[in-house]
Amino acid sequence: MDFFEFLNTAVTPYHTVDALKAFFRANSFANFDDVLEPEKSYFVSRGASIIAFRTPKQWNESSKFRIAMAHTDFPSLKISPNPDCFSAGVCTLHTEVYGSPLYTSWLDRDLGYAGMLAYVDAADGKTLKTKLFRGEKLFRIPQLAVHLNRGVNQDGLKVNPQIDFNALWSGASGRASEGEKNLFVKALEKELPAGARLIDFDVQLFDAQPANQGGFNDEWIYSGRLDNLSSCHAIAEAIVGAESNENDCLVACFFNNEEVGSTTREGAVGNFLQSVLDSIFGSFDLAQDDNSRSVILEGQSPNRIHTSLSSRLSSSIALSIDMAHAEHPNHTEKHEPNHAPLLGKGIVLKTNSQKRYASDLMSSAKLRLLCEQASIPLQVFITRNDMPCGSTVGPTVSANLGIPTVDIGEPMLSMHSIREMMAASDHADMIKLVRVFFCDKN
The pLDDT of residue 129: 96
Residue 317 β-bridge partners: 66
Q: Where in the chain is the domain with CATH 2.30.250.10?
A: 76-207
Convert the pLDDT of each residue in 252-280 to its tens digit.
999 999 999 999 999 999 999 999 999 99
Let me know how many helices (H) and strands (E) the chain has, helices first. 12, 20
pLDDT value for 303: 38
Confidence of residue 123 (pLDDT cuts 50, 70, 90): confident
Q: Please give the share of the chain, as a percent, with pLDDT higher than 90.
A: 85
Q: pLDDT for 379-411, tens place per residue? A: 999 999 999 999 999 999 999 999 999 999 999
pTM for the model: 0.93
According to CATH, the topology of domain 3-74+224-439 is Aminopeptidase (3.40.630)
Average pLDDT over residues 317-333: 97
Where do the CATH 3.40.630.10 domains begin and end in the chain?
Answer: 3-74+224-439
Residues 64 and 317 sit within 8 Å (Cβ to Cβ): yes
C-alpha to C-alpha distance for 276 and 43, rounded to whole angstroms: 10
Cβ atoms of 409 and 323 closer than 8 Å:
yes
Q: Beta strand 90-98 with 167-171: parallel, antiparallel or unpaired?
A: antiparallel
Q: Which CATH entry fits the domain spanning 76-207: 3.40.50.170, 1.10.3720.10, 3.30.70.890, 2.30.250.10? A: 2.30.250.10
